[in-house]
Chains A and B, each alone.
Chain A
Amino acid sequence: MFNKITVAALATTLTLSTSISYAGPKAEVLHWWTSGGEAKSVAVLQKEFSENGGSWTDMPVAGGGGDAAMTALRARVLSGNAPAAVQLKGPSIQEWYEEGALADISDVAKKNNWSSVLPASIAGHMKCEGKWCAAPVNVHRIDWIWANASVLKSNGFGMPKTWDEFNATAKALQAKGIIPLAHGGQAWQDATVFEAVALGIGGANFFHDAFVKLDKKALQSDTMVKVFDQMRTMRGFVDKNFSGRDWNLATAMVMNGEAAFQIMGDWAKGEFLAAGKVPGKDFLCASTPGEGFLYNVDSFAMFKVKGSDRQDGQKLLAKLIVGKNFQKVFNLNKGSIPARTDVALNEFDQCAHVSAADMNASSVGGTLLPSYAHGMALRGAQAGAITDTVTAHFNSDMSSKDAVAMLVKAIDNSK
């Protein structure tokens, strides 16, 4: 006959042993999507994760495009307590892999056919020495130019197709007292404009040679001098209070008609939409003059963690990230387009359609290029060296030739 205590003890042991043996997939996720709209987008992933039995621990750290998050990440890795998934992009993924910190999720990729649903260049960023180590979330396009529709219409201008056309339009608008280019004078914004100009003036091959291969001939070429010349011209088109201005305040200038254009990535669309503006009616979107597509792919890199619950959590997370539903919903909220090519785009707006079509076309044509300004093309030290030069040139009256010399020297110094 069973003693009550024995029964209780048995029952407890049974429950304990089953719960210790497996607690369900877990994932601690480090990211910097902390504003209202961004957070809503990530919450979609969390919901799907928990619907599939997973428990998500959120570790958000905002600021500086990820600087503070990188600080926290380094401290966590050094203390042996890395989070399971981290918002990382570009060469940093491969750099972390070289430090031995990343996990291998090739089995998830194979099971879910990632190679066939992701464009080749994007898939390349997610692989570390041939093994899949990260999952792409979206594709942001960098080389967009936004405009106030009524300002352009009432002055009889369309979206510029060449940089000369841009300059002419800008000069005419400036004469009428409209600020041609709304710009925020922070280093990364200067870099954004710079690379759009470089792509437009030099073309895709030039961009690839200069900013991906860091080929000295391209960096020292006359084309590069011309790029800096155009930057000098652009400098004349911004208002005098541009320094230090946040990017969204520049977008506001376009919205209220104070300025005509802004060159900014597609997250600017979020500002317009949040203020109730309609694409095509209130604001116009187009690619900056030139052939090509500069992309910024946000992704989650999977770090080596201990425990089967954490590892399962990573695998589940990776699968869901590249899943059709998350790709659709996240990008609807964020202003970017899905990394996955087979997602139906009927709910996306006009600008997203243009972006997706361009992405496919440039992928086929070989002009789909990683953004240097947003950390996709180069490692931090080299990208930083280029940005230092660009921003120094933009904020002074340095000559283009001097800028090119400084550029080459800075890149040499950063290797």
Chain B
Amino acid sequence: MINNINNTNYTNLLLRFLLYFILIVFVLYYLLPLFVMITTSLKSLEEIRTGSLVSLPRNITFEAWGTAWSSACTGIQCEGLRPFFWNSIFIAIPAVFISTLIGALNGYVVAQWRFRGANIIFALMLFGCFIPFQVILLPMARILGLMDLAGSITGLIFVHVIYGIGFTTLFFRNYYVNIPNELVKAAKIDGATFLRIFWSIFLPLSLPIIVVTVIWQFTQIWNDFLFGVSFSQAGTQPITVALNNIVNSTTGVKEYNVDMAAAIIAAMPTLIVYVFAGKYFIRGLTAGSVKG
């Protein structure tokens, strides 16, 4: 961080003011949609029809929020988002855990146990990050059917883990690459095994990158719609499918306030994760995970 030497200088004060000003302008850009969403969710339908987009609600009402959580129609069921919330939890938590663990082990191998072809294998795995999901929907459906996992939570966890491995391996590998290989060599001389070195040396050092990976994976999995709609059935649909049913009904009457409230509720877990874990995110990335 560059320290300005002469703080009382007028130019510095002006620059400082400019700095804050520009940052605040950007804040408006980032907050604008959230502002629109929140104010709309607090208005009545009548007010939305007649008022302007950015106006504050004349009468604040939380009715839309209640509806979104427990009585909005997502089909014949009019129980709001609540029943689907747990499906998403049961899918996301195991999938994040498993893909993070696999990524950690993979990253450890690729970064510290260089064998012939390890880098090529890594590159091939990395390319998997770029495959558009529409491509894999149909073949995956076939395979899930063959494995008898179609429509189940387990099936969804399986799919999310597979397509998360590329990224989790990338994050851990970039992090472990900065840990000197001498540590491993010394431990090997002391007689430690592959798994023991991982468990007692690398894992304890990994908290920052674990946080980064968990945040990324949780966001991707919680917000996924395509896998959720294709590989679930009644009873295992995640919250994004329910949200889509509330927001995107084609020929019905649209209740924009309920839509916005539902959208914010569906985003709550990820928002909370970002608000609280945000600083660990930076710390995790700072600790050498990203640099070369």
Contacts and interface: CB of A to CB of B under 8 A. Distances in A.
Contact of A63 (B49, B151, B244): B244
Nearest to A65: B250
Contacts of A32: 249-250
B285 interface: no
Given A60-B76, A63-B248, A37 B253 contact: yes
Pick the most buried of B49, B76, B146, B235: most chain A CB atoms within 10 A of its CB: B76
Pick the most buried of B73, B241, B251, B253: most chain A CB atoms within 10 A of its CB: B251
Contact of B249 (A35, A252, A256): A35
Given A59-B234, A62-B244, A36 B73 contact: yes
A28 B151 CA distance: 13
Given A46-B76, A61-B241, A78-B145, A34 B137 contact: no
Interface in B199-239: 226, 229-231, 233-235
Contacts of A72: 229-230
* Chain A residues touching B, majority SS: mixed
Given A60-B76, A61-B229, A81-B151, A274 B244 contact: no
Contacts of B87: none
A299 to B, nearest CB: 15
Interface string B104-142: 000000000000000000000000000000000110111
Contacts of A63: 244-245, 248, 250
Contacts of B142: 78-79
A59 B244 contact: no
B150 interface: yes
A34 B253 contact: no
A34 B246 contact: yes
Contacts of B145: 78-81
A68 interface: yes
A71 B49 CA distance: 33
A74 interface: yes
A39 interface: yes
Contact of B150 (A79, A256, A265): A79
Contacts of A56: 76
A410 B245 CA distance: 33
Nearest to B142: A78
Number of chain B interface residues as a range = 35 or more
B244 A61 contact: yes
A314 B163 CA distance: 37
B16 interface: no
A267 B226 CA distance: 28
Interface string B252-273: 1111000000000000000000
A60 B245 contact: yes
Contacts of A68: 229, 244, 248
A39 B75 contact: yes
Interface in A352-372: none
Contacts of B254: 35, 246, 248
Pick the most buried of A60, A66, A75: most chain B CB atoms within 10 A of its CB: A75
B78 interface: yes
Contacts of A60: 74-77, 245
Given A72-B229, A81-B150, A58 B250 contact: no
B144 interface: yes
B270 to A, nearest CB: 21
A36 B255 contact: yes
Contact of B74 (A34, A81, A252): A34
Nearest to B134: A71
A46 B78 CA distance: 13
A64 B250 contact: yes
Contacts of B248: 34, 62-64, 68
Contacts of B241: 61
Contact of B77 (A36, A38, A58): A58
Contacts of A83: 233
A37 B76 CA distance: 10
Nearest to A273: B253
Interface of B: 49, 73-78, 137-138, 140-142, 144-146, 150-151, 226, 229-231, 233-235, 241, 244-255
CB-CB nearest 10 A-B residue pairs:
A35-B252, A60-B75, A79-B145, A35-B249, A79-B150, A75-B141, A75-B230, A63-B248, A39-B73, A78-B141
Given A36-B252, A270-B253, 8 more contacts: A28-B234, A42-B75, A62-B245, A62-B249, A63-B245, A65-B250, A79-B141, A79-B231
21 contacts: A31-B75, A33-B249, A36-B252, A38-B252, A58-B75, A60-B76, A60-B77, A62-B245, A62-B249, A63-B248, A63-B250, A64-B250, A71-B226, A75-B230, A76-B151, A79-B141, A79-B231, A246-B254, A267-B251, A270-B251, A274-B253
Interface of A: 28, 31-39, 42-43, 46, 56-66, 68, 71-72, 74-76, 78-81, 83, 246, 248, 252, 256, 265, 267, 270-271, 274
